[in-house]
Amino acid sequence: DAGVIQSPRHEVTEMGQEVTLRCKPISGHDYLFWYRQTMMRGLELLIYFNNNVPIDDSGMPEDRFSAKMPNASFSTLKIQPSEPRDSAVYFCASSEDRGPTNYGYTFGSGTRLTVV
């Protein structure tokens, strides 16, 4: 298995532009998570899905952020409009349905977003 695949690896955009981050989870994993990592705030859980359904989006910072999972093999995190304070590394992770806490999460390599 190729693991959790995220694209792009790096994204530089201007303030006000729309940014879309993509994630392909491991086949057969029923949970998908989006995290944001910054020096100031560490790892923050933004949202997670179970069987393509958003379960908890309480970590989404504001309405500029939205996430979708149209099918079991694809998810997007969109920021519109983007702001410099959104600059961070965004990670996607997936986990199996049966006792996900027993198996741990598998993380992608992340997308480093820079908003100028």
Partner 1 sequence: AQSVTQLGSHVSVSEGALVLLRCNYSSSVPPYLFWYVQYPNQGLQLLLKYTSAATLVKGINGFEAEFKKSETSFHLTKPSAHMSDAAEYFCAVSEGGDTGFQKLVFGTGTRLLVSP
Residues paired with 16 in a beta bridge: none
107 binding partner 1? (CB under 8 A): yes
CB of 54 to partner 1, least distance (A): 13
Using the rule CB under 8 A, is 91 a contact of partner 1?
yes
Longest dimension (CA), the chain: 42
Q: Minimum distance from CB of 17 to partner 1 (Å)?
A: 24
- 30 Cβ neighbours under 8 A, 6+ residues apart: 50, 51, 72, 95, 96, 97
Nearest to 100 by CA among 51, 60, 57, 66: 51
- Residue 101 sits in the site that holds partner 1 (CB under 8 A): yes
DSSP state of 100: H
Contacts to partner 1 from residues 28-57, by CB under 8 A: 31, 33, 42-43, 45, 48, 50, 56
CB under 8 A: which stretch of 19-27, 66-74, 76-84, 95-103 binds partner 1? 95-103
